[in-house]
């Protein structure tokens, strides 16, 4: 199969109406933080038990088309020797892999961060592909403050994202491009709109320079939201309208799918806002879906509590949240469905 055919096949399997992505790619420090909230120690054994719980959830493939995994998970197997990646495939879920190496301060950028991980990326991607991964994800972060993000910060991060995406496509892996404008801060929704638009423009200019084929990538953006410490709030209708206006201004129609991150929203907020976006999207050229981590997993962790006897209840919880977000992709979610 040619590289072009590989990319097209993966996009066809990921971009499916009514389906989204499960982000299960938490780094070791992040999953340790999540486990601490439920008083579970983060060990290789506990992480395997939890991620096995996620991937073996009966019927998950009805609503989830792809799963983003952490590198450790690619090499893990169940007690009877079945690789976790194979479990995902048997569910009809495309396996992908997080490949960035986290953020560091960007020199001379007054507080902006830049993401690491380009060194040796082609070799790592080749290894991940050999193990069964078909797509990859790279996350950049942008903090909103009186001075940030700077133009230098936006340009540097856009260049990194574009280089990553080009390397992925050269090897037949679909890149997920994730420029996350953080919810931290007291900024207004109007301020978030301006920053998000500037960030997206810088990203797509860089993708064009590096000749990334937009038809064979996915965008994982944040919604346009007021900062979590903002004195002003925004209605779901306002969030949806401003998010859609920003996307129409910034994202070419050639991009097949936009999978929103939840970015600190509660599970209910993330589902509700996604639903409003799809209700108001009209004839948007992209499939508008989700790529949620905490908004799918937080209720699951609370149900699990690290106890084997709670696995079935935790899986029921994951199935329900995936189903609710599937409904939001179709614009058919209602608050009453939360009580069912």
* HSE (side-chain half, CA atoms, 13 Å) at 174: 30
| Phi, psi torsion values for 236, nearest 5 degrees | -60, -35
Query: Is pLDDT at 117 greater than 90 in this prediction?
Result: yes
Q: How do residues 293-310 score in pLDDT, each as one tens digit? A: 999 999 999 999 999 999
197 is catalytic: no
At 87, is the pLDDT very low, low, confident or very high (cuts 50, 70, 90)? very high
In percent, how much of the chain has pLDDT > 70? 100
Class of the CATH-defined domain 3-339: alpha beta
- pLDDT for 109 equals 84
Active-site choice (6, 26, 159, 178)? 178
Active-site choice (19, 98, 129, 220)? 220
pLDDT, average across residues 267-283: 97
19 is catalytic: no
| Phi, psi torsion values for 290, nearest 5 degrees | -130, 155
Q: Give this prediction's pTM.
A: 0.96
What is each CA distance from 75 to 85, 136, 137, 288, 299, in whole angstroms? 8, 16, 18, 31, 26
Tokens standing for 277? 């976006």
Q: How do residues 230-254 score in pLDDT, each as one tens digit? A: 999 999 999 999 999 999 999 999 9
């Amino acid at each position: 199969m040619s590289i072009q055919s590989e990319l097209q096949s993966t996009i066809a399997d990921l971009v499916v109406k009514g389906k989204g992505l499960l982000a299960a790619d938490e780094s070791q420090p992040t999953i340790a933080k999540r486990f601490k909230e439920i008083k579970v120690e983060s060990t290789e054994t506990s992480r395997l038990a939890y991620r096995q719980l996620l991937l073996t959830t009966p019927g998950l493939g009805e609503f989830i088309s792809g799963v983003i995994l952490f590198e450790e998970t690619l090499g893990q197997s169940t007690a009877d020797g079945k690789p976790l990646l194979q479990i995902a495939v048997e569910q009809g879920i495309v396996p992908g892999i997080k490949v960035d190496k986290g953020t560091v301060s960007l020199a001379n950028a007054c507080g902006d961060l830049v993401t690491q991980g380009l060194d040796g990326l082609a070799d790592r991607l080749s290894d991940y592909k050999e193990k069964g991964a078909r797509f990859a994800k790279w996350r950049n972060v942008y903090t909103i403050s009186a001075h940030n993000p700077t133009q230098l910060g936006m340009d540097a991060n856009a260049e990194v994202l574009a280089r990553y995406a080009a390397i992925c496509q050269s090897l037949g892996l679909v890149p997920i491009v994730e420029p996350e404008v953080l919810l931290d801060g007291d900024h207004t929704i109007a301020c978030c709109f301006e920053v998000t638009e500037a960030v997206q423009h810088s990203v797509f200019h860089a993708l064009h320079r590096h000749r990334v084929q937009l038809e064979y990538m996915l965008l994982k953006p944040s919604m346009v939201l007021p900062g979590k410490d903002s004195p002003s709030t925004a209605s779901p209708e306002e969030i949806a309208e401003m998010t859609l206006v920003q996307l129409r201004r910034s994202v070419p129609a050639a991009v097949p799918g936009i999978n929103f991150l939840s970015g600190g929203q509660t599970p209910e907020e993330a589902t509700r806002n996604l639903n409003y976006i799809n209700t108001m999207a009209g004839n948007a050229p992209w499939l508008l879906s989700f790529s949620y981590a905490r908004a799918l997993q937080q209720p699951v962790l609370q149900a699990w509590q690290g106890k084997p006897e709670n696995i079935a209840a935790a899986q029921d919880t994951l199935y329900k949240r995936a189903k609710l977000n599937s409904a939001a992709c179709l614009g058919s979610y209602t608050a009453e469905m939360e009580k069912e």
